[in-house]
Structure 1
Amino acid sequence: MPEFGRLSGSIGQIELDFVEREATPAFLMKLSIQLHLSGLSLSNTVRVLEIFGVKRARSTVHNWIHKADLQPASGKNPDHVAVDETVIQLNDEQYWLYAAVDAETNELLHTTLEPTRTTMIAQTFLAEVSEKHDVSEAVFLVDGAQSLQTACRRKGYDFRYEKHGNRNAVERVFREIKRRTICFSNCFSNASAETADDWIRSLSFAWNQLI
């Protein structure tokens, strides 16, 4: 029952303002979006729709997710923020995923997908985090990534090196994202970096609802 309650609450937060004409009932659109973001493949998601007598293509469900523009809620006030970067494969290219996670709640605060990693990009990422959340008093937990350490220093943030402990929060998030991109690679087949970036933000939204 608690799991169902979280799922129902998450569905209620999905807005369908992008819909103009759509024959699919709103609840089934929201359900399919949530099911896929929670771990169901696109193929199995459309099979669930078929149970309700609705036939839709996998690309249709994928487009719903993209157009819904889901992302983590802003306005958080975390005490400790775990930040990190990791490589994500997009078609034949490698991109760098930057993520900030509330180390105490495991909530994703912000993500961005970049074609490379530099100190300037790290600074921009931290600036985006600060625009969305009150991190002025937060302690940033970083590993050996020099670009993030330098960016924290230049921004005047309190930070400390931590390889394990509370930093495990961001590592768990990265493992889940990589598991999903491997299992459901059809999400990124022939996709632009912008589409992949949107999908990861949508996944972040679902992650925060179900943790």
Structure 2
Amino acid sequence: MPEIVRLSGSSDWIDLDFVERERTPERAMKLGIQMHVAGLSLSNTISVLDNLGVNRSRKAVHDWVQKADLQPISGKSPNQIAVDETVIRINDQQFWLYAAANPATNEILHLRLFSTTTTALTEIFLKELQQKHDVETAVFLVDGAKHLRAALQRAGLRFQTERHGNRNAVERIFREVKRRTSSFSNCFSHVEPSTAENWLQSFARWHNAPN
């Protein structure tokens, strides 16, 4: 699996400023975070750490990911932005995952979870995206969803309808997220939506990190 191969890469993208009196070596904490965000279940992650002589619980690794509060880096200036949303299930309830991606780099620019999908919520997502990145001159690539086009018009942002081509960047990201969340059941089970959203933000930071 290519994402597991990337575990040998740099972990400098993981910020451990949240650490106070953690008894686990920082190198092991970074590896634990990296493994879980890359796709290993909590159970498999603690098994690998145990083989390295670091005995920690599933909750400990879960807490590391949550406390690290990893998010995509701000300040990007993309020429095009692919925007879309898809359904994510949390505790058998339906939520909508909004995502914006740069087709030129395949980077995730912003992710958010909402309990439904409306023009007003789409406007909130776009406003947050504008606050994080320089997108005023970018062309947004969207499908035929009326609420996406309406929100972009209200925000004064340029867009064009595109069902394939560069807009596939965000579709690829959605496929990868769904593959990860379906590959182990303990990711979005028995958690609050905010916890799931935090994991998704961490995934985005890992996804964007250099190999």
Match of 1:98 in 2: 98
Match of 2:202 in 1: 202
| TM-aligned CA deviation for residue 185 of structure 1 | 2.4
Cα distance in 1, alignment partners of residues 40 and 8 from structure 2: 13
1:48-127 aligned within 5 A: 48-127=48-127
Partner of 1:12, secondary structure, is coil
1:11-26 aligned within 5 A: 11-26=11-26
Partner of 1:168, secondary structure, is helix
93-102 vs 13-22, which moves further? 13-22
Which one-letter code corresponds to 1:146 in the other structure?
K
| TM-aligned CA deviation for residue 91 of structure 1 | 0.6
Cα distance in 1, alignment partners of residues 25 and 86 from structure 2: 38
Cα distance in 2, alignment partners of residues 161 and 33 from structure 1: 38
Partner of 1:73, secondary structure, is coil
Query: Conserved in 2, the CA contact under 8 Å of 1:98 and 1:112?
Result: yes
Matched, 1:164 2:164: yes
What is the total number of aligned residue pairs between the two structures? 208
Query: Conserved in 1, the CA contact under 8 Å of 2:41 and 2:186?
Result: no
Partner of 1:71, secondary structure, is coil
Partner of 1:140, secondary structure, is strand
TM-score (norm 2): 0.94
TM-score (norm 1): 0.94
Partner of 1:54, secondary structure, is coil
Cα distance in 2, alignment partners of residues 196 and 106 from structure 1: 22
Instruction: State the 4+ residue runs in structure 1 displaced beyond 3 angstroms.
Output: 3-8
| Cα deviation 1:142-193 (Å, max 9, x = unaligned) | 0021111111111111100000000110000000111111112202111001
Q: Which runs of 5+ in 2 are unaligned?
A: none
Cα distance in 2, alignment partners of residues 166 and 5 from structure 1: 25
Which one-letter code corresponds to 2:9 in the other structure?
S
Identical aligned residues as a percent: 55
Query: Conserved in 2, the CA contact under 8 Å of 1:141 and 1:160?
Result: yes
Cα distance in 2, alignment partners of residues 70 and 25 from structure 1: 19
Query: Conserved in 2, the CA contact under 8 Å of 1:7 and 1:210?
Result: no
Cα distance in 1, alignment partners of residues 86 and 98 from structure 2: 7
| TM-aligned CA deviation for residue 130 of structure 1 | 0.6
Q: Which runs of 5+ in 1 are unaligned?
A: none
Match of 1:192 in 2: 192
Match of 2:9 in 1: 8
RMSD across aligned positions (CA):
1.6
| TM-aligned CA deviation for residue 5 of structure 1 | 7.9
35-44 vs 188-197, which moves further? 35-44
